[in-house]
Structure 1
Amino acid sequence: MSLLNKNLENGAGPRSLRKTKSTKDVADFSKVGGLNNHLKTLREVIIFPLLHGNVFSHFRIKAPRGVLFYGPPGTGKTLVAGALAAEINREGIGKVSFFQRKGADILDKWVGESEKNLRNLFDKATKNRPAIIFFDELDGLAPIRSEKNDHIHSSVVATLLALMDGLDNKPGVIVIGATNRIEAIDPALRRPGRFDKELYFPLPGVEARKEIIQVHTNMWKNKPSPKFVVQLSELTAGFCGSDIQALCSEAVLCCMRRLYPRIESKGFKVKIEADTLKVCILSSFLIGD
C-alpha cells in the first residue's frame, strides 16, 4: 500500500503553511507546451511511485527521491516544477504540499542559521507528506566545495546532502532542483540516491514553439489560425518559452494601442471591448486588427 493510501485511511492530510504555494495558482501538465518527453519522464520517476508504491515495496527497490532540471533561462524549469504538484493533485492522489525556495531564502548571515533553515524546511515537508521541495537556482545554494568557497557554503552543502540521504526513510518527499549552471553544483549531489534523474531543458525547436504559442493563445476568443501559428513559430527561432509568453503579451498591447491610440493619454476612460481585439501577423510583425 502506498503512503498516500495510508494517509487517506488514517484521515491524515497535509496542513496548510504560510509559505506553501497553492497548487490552484499553477498550471498542470496540460498548460505546458513543447516538453512532452520531460513530462513523460516525470510521470515515470515521480507520479508512478506515488500511485503504485506497492510495486516498489514488493520488489524492495527505492523510488527516485530527486530530479535536477538544468538548461538556459526561461525554458520552463520552474513552470514544470509547479505543474508537477498540480498534476499530482489532478490525478486524485491527494493534496500535495509544494515548497519553493531560492538560495536567498535559505542562506542567512548568522552562523548555523542557514543549516537550521534547511532542516526546518525538510521537517515541514516531512510532516506534510506528500510534498515537493523545489530549489530554484540551486547553484547559489549548493556550489562546488573548494578552498575558494567559504566555510558557510560548505556546511550548507553538507547539511543538504545529509538531509537528502535521510529521505530514504521518509517516502513521499521529493526534491527538485533547477539551475542554469549545472557545472557549478557540487558533484556529490549528482549521484543516484540524491538527484537520481537529470533533465535538460533546451531552447524549443519549431514544433515546441508551436505548442507553446498554442498554450498561450488557447483561451483567446479570436484564436490565431493554424497558418498564423506556423508562421510565428518559424519567425521566433532562438526564443525560449518566456520570450514567447512576453511576445504574446506585447502583441495584445499593440492591438490596444492600434485600436485605441489615446489609451495612454491622461483621462482616457473609454471601456475597451476585449472581443474586438485580434492578433494577426503581417510583414513578419505582430499587429492588431
Structure 2
Amino acid sequence: MSLDAVADRTHGYTGADLTAVLVDAATRAAGSAAGPPVIRQRDLEAALDAVGPSTLRDASVQTPTTTYQDIGGLDRAKREVVRTVEWPQRYPALFERLDAAAPTGVLLHGPPGTGKTMLAKAVAASTDANFLSVDGPELMNRYVGESERGVRDLFERARRLAPAVVFLDEVDSLAPARHDTDTGASERVVSQLLTELDGLSPRGSVAVLAATNRRESVDPALLRPGRIETQVAVPIPDQDARAAIFEVQLDGVATGRIDTTALAAATTGYTGSDIAGVVREGALLAMEDHLRETEFDATDASGLVVTQRHLRRAIETTAPSVDGAG
C-alpha cells in the first residue's frame, strides 16, 4: 500500500491516530513473522480497520438496558417510536408483505429532561440493536473541518454493526437551518448528513433517532420524507404522567405510604428529570433524619424509609427546570 493510499484512507485521523495505526500494524507484523518483522499491506489494512479516527470516539457503541417500563408516561411518544423504529427491525416480513418502506428516522423534540435520550435507548434495547450515540455540539466544536468525515464514518460504522440505532443528540447543533448560519462547515455537515440518510436501506436495518430542544432550529431538509420524517413530541408530563414517573422513580426505594397522585398534583411543570431530582433529595432528607434520630449510627439502616413528608419537603426546595413551567 502506497503512502498516498494510506493518506486517502486516513482523512480525519490525528497524529496520535496515525501513530496508533503504525503501532498496530507493527504488532501484527511481529506476530506473524518468522524472521525480522516487515510491515506489509495486509498489516496496514487490518490496522486501519481496527483504529478509527478520533471523531468516531464521540460515537460510543452501547447495548442499552433501559426499557419502556423505566420511562413513566410518554405513552403517545412510545407508540410512535415503537411503530417507526422497532417494528421495521422486529417484523421486516410485514413491511415486505405490504412493500412498505420503513421510516428512515424519527425526531424527538421537546424541553430538556423530558426523556428523549431514555426513549432512544429503550427502543434500541427492545430490538437488541447496537446503539451509537453522538453529541452534536462536541462533533462540531472539537473537530471543525473534520465533522463531515465524522458523520460519514458514523454511518459506515452503523451499517457494519446493523441492526443499529444511531442517536443524534442536540441535532440542531449538528444540522442547523442553513439560512441561519454563515459557516461553510455547517453547510458541509448538513449536506453529508443528508447524503447518509438518503443512502440508508429502506428496510430499517439502521434507524436514526435525533433529539432537539429546538425543532425550529433544525434544517428543514433533514425533516423531509425519506429522511428524519417522523416527528414525535416529548412534552412536559401531565399530572397522570408525573404520577407514573414518581412510581418508576420510587420503585426499589424503601418507602412508607406514598400518595403519588398528591405528589403529581404538587409538581406541575416538572419534567421527568426534575422528578428524579425530587426523589434523590427526598432520599437525602430521609437519611438526614435517620442519622439524627440514631445519633449518627450508620450501622442500623432498618428504620430508614422515604416518607411522603420527605418528598413534600423536597418539592418545596426544588423548582421546575424549564423556564416558564409551573
TM-score by length of 2: 0.73
Q: Match for residue 229 of structure 1?
A: 260
Selected match of 1:258 from 289, 299, 320: 289
Q: Quote the RMSD (CA, aligned, Å).
A: 2.7
Larger Rg: 2
Higher relative contact order (CA 8 A, sep 6+): 1
Cα distance between partner residues in 2 of 1:274 and 1:101? 43
Cα distance between partner residues in 1 of 2:239 and 2:62? 33
Identical-residue share of aligned pairs (%): 33
Selected match of 2:116 from 77, 86, 92: 77
Amino acid at match of 1:216: Q
The reply to whether residue 271 of structure 1 matches residue 299 of structure 2 is yes
Selected match of 2:218 from 185, 200, 209: 185
Question: Which range moves more in the overlay, 30-39 or 104-113?
Answer: 104-113
Cα distance between partner residues in 2 of 1:177 and 1:58? 28
1:283 Cα deviation after fit: 11
Q: Match for residue 20 of structure 1?
A: 61
Selected match of 1:58 from 88, 94, 97: 97
Structure 1 residues 188, 275: closer, same or farther in 2, change over 3 A?
farther
1:22 Cα deviation after fit: 2.7
Q: Match for residue 163 of structure 2?
A: 130
1:113 Cα deviation after fit: 1.2
Structure 1 residues 195, 174: closer, same or farther in 2, change over 3 A?
same
Selected match of 1:155 from 188, 203, 209: 188
Cα distance between partner residues in 2 of 1:223 and 1:87? 33
Cα distance between partner residues in 2 of 1:42 and 1:130? 16
Amino acid at match of 1:146: H
1:63 Cα deviation after fit: 0.5
Amino acid at match of 2:210: G
The reply to whether residue 175 of structure 1 matches residue 214 of structure 2 is no
Unpaired runs of at least 5, structure 2: 1-49, 51-55, 316-326
Conserved in 2, the CA contact under 8 Å of 1:65 and 1:167? Answer: yes
Unpaired runs of at least 5, structure 1: 1-14, 90-95
SS of aligned partner of 2:235: coil
Structure 1 residues 274, 101: closer, same or farther in 2, change over 3 A?
farther
Cα distance between partner residues in 2 of 1:283 and 1:63? 44
- Residues 227-268 of structure 1 deviation map (CA, whole Å, 9 limit, x = unaligned): x211101000110110000000000000111121399x9xx7
1:276 Cα deviation after fit: 2.2
Conserved in 1, the CA contact under 8 Å of 2:88 and 2:204? Answer: no
Conserved in 1, the CA contact under 8 Å of 2:283 and 2:310? Answer: no
Cα distance between partner residues in 2 of 1:125 and 1:62? 19
TM-score by length of 1: 0.82
Higher helix share: 2
Structure 1 residues 259, 149: closer, same or farther in 2, change over 3 A?
same
Cα distance between partner residues in 2 of 1:111 and 1:23? 30
Cα distance between partner residues in 1 of 2:93 and 2:223? 27
SS of aligned partner of 1:245: helix
- Residues 180-234 of structure 1 deviation map (CA, whole Å, 9 limit, x = unaligned): 0000000001111111210111111110000000000121233643xx2111010
Cα distance between partner residues in 1 of 2:71 and 2:287? 27
- Residues 119-157 of structure 1 deviation map (CA, whole Å, 9 limit, x = unaligned): 111011000000000011111110011274200001100
Cα distance between partner residues in 2 of 1:127 and 1:276? 50
Conserved in 2, the CA contact under 8 Å of 1:221 and 1:275? Answer: no
Selected match of 2:68 from 23, 29, 44: 29
Cα distance between partner residues in 2 of 1:249 and 1:183? 34
Amino acid at match of 2:278: L
1:111 Cα deviation after fit: 6.0
Cα distance between partner residues in 2 of 1:286 and 1:103? 34
Conserved in 2, the CA contact under 8 Å of 1:74 and 1:242? Answer: yes
Cα distance between partner residues in 1 of 2:186 and 2:300? 53
Structure 1 residues 73, 158: closer, same or farther in 2, change over 3 A?
same
How many residue pairs end up in the alignment? 259
Cα distance between partner residues in 2 of 1:115 and 1:275? 57
Q: Match for residue 197 of structure 1?
A: 230
